[in-house]
Amino acid sequence: MIPGAAAARYDERAARPINSEVAVSAPDNKAVVRQLIDAWNNGDINALMTFWSPTMVHHGRGGTISAEDTAAEMRRFLDAFPDLRMELHSIVSEGELVATRMTVHATHTGAYMGIPPTGRPVSCALMGQLRIVDGVVVDHWGVADALGILVQIGMLPSELSTAFS
């Protein structure tokens, strides 16, 4: 074992160690995430962006996207699901990292990705991890049950939601 290996983690993107002892405490990082969720729940993308570094990167299934592109996607989603509410079930923080487990509740009242509004309520599981440096999000990883949403709005057969759960 390498001496000190247990004390540091490695950030592959930045090619540098992430020190688990950072200036911002874990409770402060949790507070940042709670405020970020409040901004989402208020539908205020501009307020949400104040919690992001200008160079924030969202890491998703399709690769990485910038803060500006993330905000644009969020606006499109809120246009289709304007009553979106995030229900926080758990939040865990260690050093710069904060993990969340949530349920998103919304109603499909606008077109989204070519799908016309159905008026149907949806809920989906959402897991996220954020890296926060100096009080702002610099990296975000998120996984949502998009398949479940498509089943709930009637675009896919309901058997899919039980087959892959």
* Neighbour tally for 33: CB within 10 Å: 20
Q: 108-162: per-residue pLDDT in tens?
A: 999 988 899 999 999 999 999 999 999 999 999 999 998 889 999 988 888 876 7
Residue 143 is assigned to a structural domain of this protein:
yes
Residue 2 is assigned to a structural domain of this protein:
no
| Its pTM surpasses 0.85 | no
Structural domain harbouring 66:
25-163
Residue 15 is assigned to a structural domain of this protein:
no
**Nearest alpha carbon to residue 106 among 142, 147, 152:** 152
Under 8 Å between Cβ of 81 and 88: no
CATH number, residue 67: 3.10.450.50
Residue 113 is assigned to a structural domain of this protein:
yes
Into how many domains does the chain fold? 1
pLDDT of residue 157: 87
Residue 9 has pLDDT above 50, yes or no: no
* Neighbour tally for 92: CB within 10 Å: 12
Q: What's the average model confidence in pLDDT over 70-97?
A: 96
Residue 5 is assigned to a structural domain of this protein:
no
Q: 35-56: per-residue pLDDT in tens?
A: 999 999 999 999 999 999 999 9
Helix (H/G/I), strand (E/B), else coil: 76: helix
Residue 41 is assigned to a structural domain of this protein:
yes
Residue 45 is assigned to a structural domain of this protein:
yes
**Nearest alpha carbon to residue 79 among 43, 50, 105, 52:** 43
Residue 16 is assigned to a structural domain of this protein:
no
